[in-house]
Structures are given as C-alpha cells and as structure tokens.
Amino acid sequence: MWAGVVTGVAAPTPAVVGTAVTAALAAVVVSRRVRSAAVRLAALAALACLVGGTFTGAARAAGVRAGPVDDLAAGGAAVHVDGVLVTDPRLRTDGRGADESPYVIARLRIEMVTGRGAAARVRTPVLLLATDTEWAELRPGQEVSTPGRLVPARDRGDVAGVLRVHGPPETIDRPGWSSRLTEPLRAGLREAVSGLSQDPRGLVPALVVGDESLMTDDVREDMRATGLTHLTAVSGTNVTILLVAVLGSARWVGVRGYGLPFIGALAVLGFVLLARPEPSVMRAAAMGLVALAGLTVAGRRRGVPALAAAVIVLLLVDPWLGRDAGFALSVLATGGILLLAPAWRDAMPWLPRPVAEACAVTLAAQAACAPVVVAIAGQASLASIPANLVAAPAIAPATLLGAGAAVVSPLSSSVAALLGYGAGLPAAWIVIVSRHGADLPGAVVAWPDGAVGVLIAMALAICAVVVLPALLRRPMTSAAAALVLVVMVARAPTPGWPPPGWLVVACDVGQGDALVLRAGDGSAVVVDAGPDPALVRRCLDSLAIEQVPLLVLTHFHADHVEGVPGVLDGRRVAQVLVSPLADPSEQTDLVHSWLEEAQVPASIARAGEEIAIGESVRLRVLWPRRIIHDGSLANNASIVLDAQVAGLRILLTGDIEPEAQRALVRAEPGLRADVLKVPHHGSMQQEPKLLTGVGAKLALVAVGADNRYGHPAAATLRVLQAAGMTVRRTDIDGSMAVVRTPDGGLAIVNGPRVPAH
C-alpha cells in the first residue's frame, strides 16, 4: 500500500497504468504457479494493495493538480479567494533573510477563486504565505477572503500552489466548532505557564499539544542537536502517556469490560481535538494506540498486524503521508517498540521494570529510526540516546500536568497555574538536558551522504539488534557500554573536524553569514554571527575558539547579527567593528545592548583602515565609502574586507548589492583574492565584474537550506562556474574549512551541518 500511494501521488499517468498492468500480470502468474493457498492469498492481497494504493494516490493527486487553481498558479496570477483555514497559522521568524520581516504560514482550502476575469467554485488546498502578522491570530475552520498571488509550489505535493498575501485577512465567519471548543483550553494552558521562566514556559505547550509559539530558537536548536525534537511535535508518545494515565485511573475507580475501550476512545478523541485534527495528530493517535496495545496485552503477535492495519488506513485517508519523513519515523519507531522493546525490557531483570521499559523503548525507537534520521540530516547525534534516556522520566509528568492545566483552566485559573508550575519543573529538566547535550563537542557528528550513509546506519542498527540483548543481560557490560557512549559524546569531536591547518571556516548557520578567520590556536576573527546564537556558538565551540580579538558585523540585518550572544557566550571578545549605517534601528539598538552588557567596545569601520590581528591576519576595510540610496540601504552599507590569513586572500563582501558592487569595482580596479565570499547569499542581484574580476579560485556561498528567497540564484552560480571558480555552499556542504594542499593549492573540508528540521 505504501509503495502504491507513493507511486500514485508522484508518478505520471503512464507509470500509474504501467504499475496496474504489471501487478495484474503478476497476479495471473501467482494464481497459476503458486500452489500454497496461504502464500497465494498473501501475494494476491499484496498486489491488490499495490494497485489500490496506486489508484488512490493518483486520484487524490489529480484532484489537487487539475483545475483552475493549478492553472492560475502556473501563470503566477493575481487572484481573489474565499477559503477556509485548515491548520493553525504559524508565525515564522527563523531563517529569514535581509528584509527581516516575519511571515505567517498555514494551509488554506480555497472554495472560491477569481482570477483573469473568471470565477470558479473549487475545494483546492494551497499553502498560504502572509507577510501581515494579523493572520497568526486566526484559527482553523475560519472562513477568510483575501486578494493575493498564486505561484507554483516548489514541491508539487498535496497543495496546488502557494498563495502569497501581503494585506490583513478579511474574516467571513468565526472559527470552526472544534477550534471554538478547544482554543480556550489551549489559551488556558499558555496562561497557566505564563509565570514560568522563558524556556520551560515555551516547552510545556509544545510537549502537551505541539504548540511551539512560545519556544525560543535556542531551545529548539538544542533539542534538534540532542535528538529530543520529537518531544515538541505531537507524537504517539503523547497518546500513549495519556491512555496509560486515563485507563489506569479508570481501572482504579472500578471501570471494567467495555467501559475501558469507551473511555480510552473518548480520551483519544479529546486529545485529537485539543491538539487539532491535523494529519500529524491523527497519525500520532493511531501510532500511540498501536504502541500501547503492543506493550501491554497484544504483544508482538497482534501488535504488528495492528500497526500494518493502521498504516494502511492512514495512507488511504491521506496518501501524502507516504512521502512524509515524519510518518516514516513514526511507523519505524512504533515497529521498533513492538518488535524489539519487549525482549530488550525482559533482558534487564536487574533493573526495576518501569526503568527497564523506558530504556528498552528509547533504544528500540532509536535503532529503528537511525537509517532515516541520518538520511534526512546528513549527520548523527551521539547525544541522542543518553539525552532521551535521561529526559524520559520527565516526559510523562510534564505532559500529564500540562494536560491537566489545560483541562481545568476554564474552571480555576489558580489550580491551572499550580499544575502549570508542576509541569514546568520536569520541562526545565528537559531543557537542561538538551542544552548540556548540545554543548558537548561530540554531540553531533558528520555522516556520509547518500546511500552509503544510509547503508552504514542500517548496518549499525542491525548490529545493535544482534548485540544489545547480550549486553543488556549483564549489569557490568551495560554500564561499560554506557560509559563508552558518554566518553564519546563528551570527548570525541566531529571526526576530521576541524582539519589541521585550517585558515578560514564558513559556518553553517542556516540562512545567514558567519565566517571565522584563524588568528592562532584558540583565537579567531569572526565576521558576522548568523541568525541564531546556538548555531554560531556550536560552530565556534567545534573550532575550540576561546578568544575573538575582533568581531566584525558587516551590517545590522538579523541574519548577520542575531547570533551575537552565541559569539559572546564563553569567549573573550576584545572589540567589535560595525557598519556606519545604524539601520534597522531596532536591530542596531539590540546589538549595542548585548555589547554593553558584555562590556565589549564597538567602533565604526572606515574605508582604508588597516587592522593587524596577531601575526597571521591582516584586514583592510574597502567599503562603505559612502551611503548608497538605491537598493537596500543596509545591504549596500555592508562592511567589505580584503582579508589575508597566513597569505591566503579572501574577499568578504557582506550583502552588498549591484550598486555598491559597481562602486567598489571602480574604487578598487586591481582588487584580487584567492577566495570570494559571494555577496548576499548568492542572490540574483549581482555585478558580474565583481564576481569574476578578482580572479578567485574558490567561491563560498553562505545560505540556508530550502530558504524562501531562492538563494543562491541559478544565474549567479552560472556566472561563478563560467569564470572557473569552484563553488561550495553551506546548505549542501555544511560548515566548510579552507585549507592549503601540499602543493600550495586550496581545498575544502566539510564539517558539521545544521540539524535538520
């Protein structure tokens, strides 16, 4: 069924027909050649599922892609739509580019579309991107009317296009009944934790109902690095914890027989409504029920068929789940729990049963998911298993107390606040675990890309399945294995990172800039700090940078300066050099407040200024020479540096745009460099004379994966490659170190990558 729906939603019509014909021929062969009735029945059932899944996926895909919305999106048409919000609008501020503006993202079902002089009634899903933050105040089920522009979706998935909206929403009707019923509970939960400190205040709603609106970027990134991010998404774990508590309480008060399934069904229904009946929540409910059944009464004998049945039903209801990595991880984790956890739990009789079960479930889920995780992330988290084991005891109390706070909040705000405070204590422990785990030098290690990396992860997972039961049976061998893992995380750096003799590193900090120029052992000049303190901190820690004699902030856009606290954290920063243009003013004030708090002096860059750092780094300020009023003021006021690091010349260009680039070419006609930091993340706004005129052999593009700006532009990459430059990108290669080869040439060594979302 899974293979069928993936084929149906992704393949063209001839492939769908070919799959059906091939399956029919295979059914004929099986019917005539296979003598065993049981085998014949199983094979025919599998072929029927393949065909049924293929046609189900194809029919659903045709429903999305055929019609006026798809045609209008293909032409980038201006439209006016009436529709219904399907999901909670989410305010996004991470990974944004130079315009610094937050945006709102949601799924919208268009019911009436008017464009190019024609109107049509439809029921077509699109992805909504709105620049007005008023959209974030709306709720699922709410009818809206708005003008916008339809454009094609980058990935032709389960939406017919992307609707870009710049104005505020016009609401036609109030939210749907489920939102009206549950939003007071969700708001009550947020209010109940409002007295907690920032990090647990944001984590409790995420643990209970997947509401990440209050979470900080630091906590989010730390949890990704330590393999705990699954806790902030609604998962089968939430449902399992809830059902264990509800059914245990029901048995305690004397409920028996058919009353237990009825109460369990009500509990699951209530949870689904509270967390929103979105596909991920429905998936979590199904997986939670299956995992609970497998760990209690059903075991392996009934658990695996139940899992298979749940997968089939979910794929028929929503074929797009077949392409969803989260769905694959959920199924694998549940399968690992069903097949491996009971035997691994029983192999540890020397531990109390609840502790043994928690350890077995964590290990089984990690082993089952490892191949997919490394395929998605391109890296492995050694801290994941110990972090999950240490955090596991806090998950249930935080979830149950938080759920209790939500339920009682309409009745008593004081009781809800008390329960919220109780939920905040275990949530604070999870934050501590994720923060310390992410700060360990060996927490995240690079992993081979592609099929090789997946095969290695599969081989290691198989070895774990074979070896772990023998290790777990003996307390001493278990303790020794745990000690080895702890030492690896605490002491082992990313293999091969940093490379010996590195000169310059472009840190992978997502959609932003952060470059490191080596000034000696443990010392470096840092140029820009990226958009996230956790990411730049992790990069500098991996390079063992303890002293920053100079921090250069090329301009004050968020993707270059919001990571400043991560540079200041645990390091001695001597001086900061900033752009003369204090724009945007809010961001400028924020940066200066950080520097004043850390007592770090700041000075304004002057064109022609020369700076020597130690014996190896020489800097010359080339720009800005004047303020350019065309284009982006802040971008064109970026500091441009001609930097020399142990003889290597690198041109650091900030985000200057064509107007400033042309002025720089005129002012510095003989400018040369070995390495070019491509301006503005490789956007299409470039002056070819600057890109190709400096004679660089290597071009570095600092850019975030899947950014919404289309960086780097294909035209810019073609110009660089046509000039004979080797182009390397942080979104593909991760952090990159420039080194000298034995023959005096240049080479790139890849380092850690940003944890995958």
- Does the pLDDT at position 216 exceed 70? yes
What was the pLDDT predicted at 342? 83
- What is this structure's pTM? 0.63
Q: For 427-480, how does the pLDDT look when each residue is reduced to its tens digit (9 = 90+)?
A: 999 988 888 777 665 556 666 666 777 788 788 888 878 887 888 788 887 777
Q: How many Å apart are CA 136 and CA 106, to the nearest integer?
A: 9
Max CA separation in the chain (angstroms): 87
Q: Domain 68-175 in CATH: superfamily?
A: Nucleic acid-binding proteins (2.40.50.140)
What was the pLDDT predicted at 354? 73
Query: Residue 655: which of 98, 46, 14, 264 has the closest Cα?
Result: 98
Q: For 228-247, how does the pLDDT look when each residue is reduced to its tens digit (9 = 90+)?
A: 777 776 766 677 777 778 87
Handedness of CA 380, 472, 243, 321 (dihedral sign): positive
Position with higher pLDDT, 341 vs 682? 682
- Does the pLDDT at position 273 exceed 60? yes
Average pLDDT over residues 141-152: 90
Give the CATH number of domain 504-750. 3.60.15.10
List, as one string, the DSSP characters of 32-50.
HH---HHHHHHHHHHHHHH
Q: For 167-181, how does the pLDDT look when each residue is reduced to its tens digit (9 = 90+)?
A: 888 877 677 677 777
Of the given ranges (10-24, 505-519, 670-684, 692-706), which has the lowest mean pLDDT?
10-24
Position with higher pLDDT, 482 vs 550? 550
First vs last Cα of the chain: how many Å apart? 27
Average pLDDT over residues 288-297: 62
What was the pLDDT predicted at 99? 43
Average pLDDT across the chain, whole number: 85
Q: How many Å apart are CA 443 and CA 492, to the nearest integer?
A: 8
Average pLDDT over residues 739-754: 84
Position with higher pLDDT, 256 vs 490? 256
Task: Name the most confidently modeled range: 92-101, 263-272, 286-295.
Answer: 263-272
Query: Residue 738: which of 629, 638, 652, 639 has the closest Cα?
Result: 652
- Does the pLDDT at position 321 exceed 70? yes
- Asked whether 227 and 383 are in contact (CB, 8 A), the reply is yes
- What residue type is 458 in one-letter code? M
Q: How many Å apart are CA 473 and CA 480, to the nearest integer?
A: 13
- Asked whether 341 and 360 are in contact (CB, 8 A), the reply is yes
Q: Is 486 left (phi over 0), alpha (psi -120 to 50) or beta?
A: alpha
Query: Residue 221: which of 32, 94, 348, 404 has the closest Cα?
Result: 94
- Does the pLDDT at position 592 exceed 90? yes
Same fold, 68-175 and 504-750: no
Residue 619 CB-density burial (10 A; 0-12 exposed, 13-18 middle, 19+ buried) = buried
What was the pLDDT predicted at 379? 63
- What is the Cα Rg of the chain in Å? 28
Average pLDDT over residues 360-386: 74
What was the pLDDT predicted at 635? 94
What was the pLDDT predicted at 3? 92
Average pLDDT over residues 186-201: 90
**Residue 506 banded pLDDT, cuts 50, 70, 90:** very high
Which residues have C-beta within 8 Å of that of residue 20, sequence separation ≥ 6?
A: 51, 54, 55
Which residues have C-beta within 8 Å of that of residue 17, sequence separation ≥ 6?
A: none
What was the pLDDT predicted at 27? 87
Strand partners, 516: 505, 526
Two tokens, residue 388: 């999950």
**Residue 292 banded pLDDT, cuts 50, 70, 90:** low
Handedness of CA 344, 349, 351, 352 (dihedral sign): positive
Which residues have C-beta within 8 Å of that of residue 677, sequence separation ≥ 6?
A: 506, 513, 515, 650, 651, 652, 653, 700, 702
What was the pLDDT predicted at 97? 38
**Residue 589 banded pLDDT, cuts 50, 70, 90:** very high
What was the pLDDT predicted at 757? 40
- Does the pLDDT at position 555 exceed 90? yes
Average pLDDT over residues 541-568: 94
Q: For 387-398, how does the pLDDT look when each residue is reduced to its tens digit (9 = 90+)?
A: 777 787 788 888
Coil, strand, or helix at residue 106? strand
Q: For 47-89, how does the pLDDT look when each residue is reduced to its tens digit (9 = 90+)?
A: 999 999 999 888 888 877 778 888 898 888 999 999 998 888 8
Backbone phi, psi, residue 558, to 5° = -60, -35
Position with higher pLDDT, 174 vs 722? 722
Residue with token string 């502790």: 355
CA 730 to chain centre: 16
**Residue 485 banded pLDDT, cuts 50, 70, 90:** low
Domain locations in the chain as residue ranges: 2-65, 68-175, 181-486, 504-750
Q: How many Å apart are CA 525 and CA 518, to the nearest integer?
A: 7
Average pLDDT over residues 405-425: 92
Q: What is the DSSP pairing of strand 444-446 with strand 504-506?
A: unpaired
Run of H or E residues at 129: strand 118-130
- Asked whether 556 and 575 are in contact (CB, 8 A), the reply is no
Two tokens, residue 376: 């998605």
Q: How many Å apart are CA 552 and CA 263, to the nearest integer?
A: 61
Percentage of the chain modeled with pLDDT above 70: 90
Residue with token string 């293909």: 74
- Does the pLDDT at position 522 exceed 80? yes
Backbone phi, psi, residue 567, to 5° = -75, -40
Coil, strand, or helix at residue 604? strand
Q: For 88-135, how does the pLDDT look when each residue is reduced to its tens digit (9 = 90+)?
A: 888 876 443 334 467 889 999 999 999 988 899 988 889 999 988 889
